[in-house]
Structure 1
Amino acid sequence: MARHRETACASQSTETVHDMTAPSIAIRPALAHGDIADVPGKRVRAINRVVLFNVKYSPNLGDGLLSECLERELMRSLPDCEVVSVDLAGRTEYPASHGRARGLALALLDRCPAPLRQVAARAMLEMLLRTRLRGRYRVGLSGADAVVIGGGNLLTDSDLNFPMKISGALAEAARLSLPVSVYAVGVAPKWSDAGARLFTRAFANARLTWASVRDIRSQEGWAAHFGPRAVLAEVVVDPGVLASLHYPPAPRSLSGRKVGFCVTDPLAVRYHSDKTSAATLEDWYPAALRSLVEAGFEVALFTNGSPEDREYLHGRFYDWIHHARGPVTLSPSFETPADLAAFVSGCNAIVGHRMHACIAAYSFGVPAIGLRWDVKLDSFFELAGRGNHMLDPASVEAGDVGTRTAAAIADHLDPAPLIARACREVAEFAARLQDAMP
């Protein structure tokens, strides 16, 4: 993938492409951090520590992948600055044991009437914030010069999860009078009344200096929710697009026919979408695998790491193999974002719902078929010019998946321009962070 770095950040040697500690000498924004001291009349102190609030250690490794990419790319532009993530859920590492209760929680919440569900979730979150999370946010902000909310699908309201956690994080930042930026977040078009009040109050009380979102729909959502009360949000590329610059690629399958099939528990799909029912996917998945096998592909089943996805897949794997009547294998579970990136980079195509499996694939030049469920996935495919490779399991026959995958492979994919844009945007953001220093 050195070609990507040469195109995106011309002049960086191939030897440093995957050196996570090497500063970037290739990107020079209009006002880089080293230039600020030379501006007449402007004297600012160096920025030493930037804290990102996100869900880096989510069991869904896509969140970790985008967080690591943003951390590392910021450090290229701010080589003397410490850039760290504070997980909004209080997690500190990627162990496989994380999130094992999540599947049960989702199932219980799915059975609750909406009003009862929100009351129960709020009570649990209030207890967590009071007894554990606010303290962790406070410790994480020690010595910070700037705070960033992002990236990820954070300005969403599923049972008040992010409204309450982000409110707590911003309250701690406000207590220290720290400047706050928002970077490459997803913004849901609808929040509950309680969620809207929490978000609005939290950002109104913060020292919000700049904001960006990861797609046009999120920009529209930001404007609709905050109106003139907050800064306008710019659109930037999701930092997960930089995966090929920060993770070494695996050897590509020699057969040229390896398809990674990312399985998502239908319950999780239903929890975030009203378009695809669990019953549809229960029958659709095995039929899609047979379609791929009949089209001559070798299928490797995997998940992004969420325990509910793993359990769902492992409970059906043998039946699916029998139904597919061909080369279908189960990939080992991944423990880190690097594992996910390595697997995806070694495939010839990817099929799945999970956004950052598709984004990582795009970064490595691997074509993806996106399975429609959340508008955020449509938004990325449109941004990448691959919108015709979105497929809705609720309306597209599973028997067409093999043909659609072959068409995606045949459709030339050049990720270099979008990678170059993402590099430039992070470098410009780094300059903004430095420029905001007193």
Structure 2
Amino acid sequence: MTKILISGYYGFHNAGDDAVLYGIYSSLRKLDPTVEVTVLSNSPEETMQLFHIHAVNRWNALDIVKEIRRADLVILGGGTLLQDRTSPRSPLYYLGIAGLAKGMGKPVFFYGQGYGPIIHPFSKRIIRFLLNRMDAITVRDSLSGEEMRSHGVTKVPIYVTADPALTIDPLEADLEDARRRLTKHQVDPDAPIAYIAIRDWKGEEHFKEELARCGDSLSQSGWQVVFLSMQYPHDHSPSVDVMSKMKNRAVLIDQPLNFKEIMSLIGLGQLMIGMRLHALILAAIMGVPFIALSYDPKIDRFVESVGKSSPVRIETLDGDALMEEVKEILLRLPEERMELKQRIGPITDQAFESARLLYRLLEKKKQEEKR
């Protein structure tokens, strides 16, 4: 039985990262139903409850060493683990796990990751040193691969695949549960719904007023405006801020939701306006047209990958212009949905390629051990 340890940003009540973990886990199990997976998590009990897999505390050094020792391979991913815009310490934890695993003689596979921005020279040096000693890297977009190579990661194969969350089957959505949840919040599941999924972003407060203007325009046009929190309670405050600036009614699903519950809700909607990358990805999976509000290169890269026009920049957001874009989508809603489904198909297969490459690497390692 193959044993795999996964390290990523898990157990932090972030539905997007949980969607990534589920995408990785389900892809591995499709290729090997007997695979035994352990996750390093900030909340091991919650991770075990949600995924029914083994999890240990990501801050317990003894548990980490124990699980690396038992593993046949260590995965780092997905998400954007290697970025230092928030703090130069951000990448060090994951690089430490990778370095420890290599020091213990374990293959390390970077799985479907985004990359950057990396702005500190020290981060670039340590990334170059450690990543060139990894066994294989898959990135979720071509620009992440190009940026890695520009930082000197040239001695390890880098494959462009796609975000692991894109492998989630839309048939796993529970639309009946979503209908009950919407009804409980006095939202008619059979009437038009526009979802908004935002986060706070330092120094960019004006976008909330502009988004409120767009929300009011939607409401005046007969739409129900519903706010979702991808990371609860972090996304609660900015959603309330926007709603407080609106003149018309909007609804906030004011509770923690897992990625399947959010995916199910989105599946009953007709539009997603989102800052959160995985709100956009879950919308794409469910065939729901979206407008991306970009605060980070990862948003731009995903939008490009599905062949959509450039996202709306947070710093230049204009409520009236946003509403015009909404109207353009709504005028051709059936075509938008069909085109989105057609684009997502090939990208889903690209995302699954990460799992195929991982098992090829494992098989190669096993053959080398027999020699």
Q: TM-score range, shorter-chain basis?
A: 0.7 to 0.9
> Are residues 171 and 236 of structure 1, via their aligned partners in 2, closer, same or farther at CA, if it must alter by over 3 Å?
same
- Distance in 2 (CA, whole Å) between partners of 1:80 and 1:246 is 23
Question: What does 1:276-425 correspond to in 2, within 5 Å?
Answer: 277-314=203-240, 316=241, 319-320=244-245, 323-326=246-249, 328-388=250-310, 390-409=311-330, 410=333, 411=336, 412-414=339-341, 415-425=344-354
Partner of 1:69 in structure 2?
Answer: 23
CA distance in structure 2 between the partners assigned to 1:93 and 1:341 by the alignment? 23
Q: 2:121 & 2:232 partners in 1: Cα distance?
A: 29
3-state SS of paired residue (1:288): helix
Aligned position for 2:185: none
Residue of structure 2 in register with 1:171 after alignment? 99
The answer on whether the counterparts of 1:184 and 1:212 sit within 8 Å (CA) in structure 2 is yes
Write the letter of the residue equivalent to 2:146. E
The structural deviation recorded for 1:428 is: 4.0
The superposition leaves residues 246-272 of structure 1 with CA deviations (integer Å, 9 ceiling, x where unpaired) of 73242587545211111212xxx23xx
C-alpha spacing 1:428/1:175, structure 2 compared with 1 (3 Å): closer
Percent identical residues: 19
In 2, Cα distance between equivalents of 1:312 and 1:189: 24
Is the contact made by 1:49 and 1:82 (CA closer than 8 Å) also made in structure 2?
yes
Q: What is the TM-score when the length of structure 2 is the normalising length? A: 0.83
State the shift of 1:394 in Å.
2.8
- 8 Å CA contact retained: 2:8, 2:77: yes
**Letter aligned with residue 405 of structure 1:** V
Cα gap change, 1:343 to 1:84, in 2 (>3 Å): farther
> Are 1:242 and 2:167 counterparts?
yes
* 3-state SS of paired residue (1:226): coil
Per-residue CA distance 1:39-69 (angstroms, 9 max, x = gap): xxxxxxxx51011211122232101111111
User: Which of 28, 35, 38 is 1:84 aligned to?
Assistant: 38
CA separation of 1:187/1:284 partners in 2, compared to 1, >3 Å: closer, same or farther? same
Contact 2:68 2:106 in 1 (8 A): no
Deviation at 1:424, TM superposition (A): 4.4
Give the conservation status (yes or no) of the 8 Å contact 1:70–1:239: yes
Shift, 1:150, TM fit? 1.0
TM-score by length of 1: 0.71
Report the equivalent of 2:156.
231
The code of the aligned residue for 1:159 comes to S
Alpha-carbon distance in 1 for matches of 2:106, 2:136: 13
- 1:160 is aligned to 88
Residues 232 and 256 in structure 2, CA contact (< 8 A), matched pair in contact too: no
> Conserved in 2, the CA contact under 8 Å of 1:334 and 1:340?
no
Residues 1:50 and 1:295: Cα distance change in structure 2 (over 3 Å): same
- The answer (yes or no) to whether the contact 2:8–2:81 under 8 Å persists in 1 is yes
Structure 1 residues 197 and 307: alpha-carbon distance in aligned structure 2, compared to 1, 3 A threshold: farther
Report deviation, 1:94. 4.2
**Shift in Å at residue 91 of structure 1?**
3.5
Conserved 8 A contact 1:66-1:238: yes
On the 8 A contact 2:232/2:255 being kept in 1, the answer is no
2: CA distance between counterparts of 1:191 and 1:93?
35
Superposed displacement of residue 422, structure 1: 2.6
Deviation of the 1:74 alpha carbon = 0.9
Q: Do the aligned residues in 1 keep the contact of 2:99 with 2:130 (CA within 8 Å)?
A: yes
Q: Is the 8 A contact 1:184 1:237 kept in 2?
A: yes
What is the Cα deviation at residue 398 of structure 1?
Answer: 0.6
| Distance in structure 1 (CA, Å) of the matches to 2:90 and 2:267 | 31
Residue deviations 1:349-406, cap 9 Å, x none?
1111000010011011111110011010110111111234x22243342123333224
Structure 1 residues 332 and 396: alpha-carbon distance in aligned structure 2, compared to 1, 3 A threshold: closer
Choose 282-291 or 399-408, whichever is displaced more: 399-408
